[in-house]
């Protein structure tokens, strides 16, 4: 009779810290995921969206303010499978309502779940974003999620349905002008996200 297969070693935050600095590393359920830095179209979509939302929602310019909007924040959640360990993820953009987080933390990461996240999809990360990160964000109570695909020029909007995860609300394409929660106070022109 053969030996039982040895259980793979769970990765730790020390493994994440040892990842090469030119990579994006995340830790989910004890598995280390390492990806290349975003490609130019990915980076452009993220930067453009951050600019479009940051003025009215973070800075209060021609909009309601009330959010912290941040590019690439590291967020830590407790790992339910291993007490004392963390899941560490880096969404492309995240937003916290200032009423929930009046001040930015002094730590190099956030431990409070954001109110909104946005992942910019790329061929190397789409499956990871959809199958690993979206369920994690839902588990932690993130209320709104957007998936932006700069190659297919789409914005998918999701809302959290407690007990069920994220429910798709709408998919917008190309040069559509949209009002999408939680930022429906402004009209967003998707054409500004696509590098042409």
**Letter string b/e over residues 110-135, b meaning 16 or more CB atoms within 10 A of that residue's CB:** beebbbbbbbbbbeebeebbeebbbe
Residue 42 in domain? yes
Q: Is the model more confident about 80 or about 46?
A: 46
What would the two tokens of residue 133 be? 């990160």
Indicate whether 183 pLDDT > 60.
yes
Residue 19 in domain? yes
CATH code of the domain covering residue 28: 3.90.1570.10
Question: pTM (2 decimals)?
Answer: 0.94
Give the integer Cα–Cα distance in Å for 134 and 91: 10
Q: What integer pLDDT is reported at residue 125 of this predicted model?
A: 94
Indicate whether 193 pLDDT > 80.
yes
Give the integer Cα–Cα distance in Å for 104 and 101: 7
What would the two tokens of residue 192 be? 């500004």
Give the integer Cα–Cα distance in Å for 131 and 121: 12
Residue 134 in domain? yes
Residue 6 in domain? no
Residue 104 in domain? yes
**Residue 1: partners with Cβ closer than 8 Å, 6 or more residues away:** none
Tally of domains within the chain: 1
Tell me which residue range forms the domain holding 163.
Answer: 13-193
| 99-122 residue pLDDT tens | 999 999 999 999 999 999 999 999
Residue 132 in domain? yes
Q: Using alpha carbons, list the distances in angstroms from residue 96 to 17, 31, 104, 184.
A: 25, 27, 10, 16
Q: What integer pLDDT is reported at residue 8 of this predicted model?
A: 76
Q: In what order do the strands lie in the sheet with 23-28?
A: 31-36, 23-28, 86-89, 75-78
């Amino acid at each position: 009779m053969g030996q039982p297969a040895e259980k793979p070693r769970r990765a730790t935050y020390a493994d994440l810290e040892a990842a090469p600095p030119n990579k994006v590393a995340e830790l989910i359920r004890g598995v280390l995921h390492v990806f290349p830095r975003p490609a130019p179209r990915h980076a452009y979509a993220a930067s453009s969206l951050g600019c479009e939302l940051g003025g009215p929602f973070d800075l209060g310019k021609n909009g309601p303010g009330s959010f912290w909007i941040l590019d690439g924040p590291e967020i830590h959640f407790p790992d339910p499978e291993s007490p004392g360990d963390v899941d560490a993820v880096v969404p492309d953009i995240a937003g916290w309502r200032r009423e929930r987080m009046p001040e930015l933390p002094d730590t190099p990461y956030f431990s409070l779940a954001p109110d909104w996240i946005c992942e910019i999809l790329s061929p190397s990360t789409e499956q990871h974003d959809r199958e690993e990160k979206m369920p994690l964000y839902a588990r932690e109570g993130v209320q709104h999620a957007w998936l932006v695909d700069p190659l297919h020029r789409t914005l998918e909007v999701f809302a959290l349905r407690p007990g069920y995860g994220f429910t798709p609300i709408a998919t917008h394409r190309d040069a559509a002008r949209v009002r999408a929660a939680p930022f429906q106070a402004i009209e967003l022109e998707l054409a500004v996200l696509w590098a042409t």
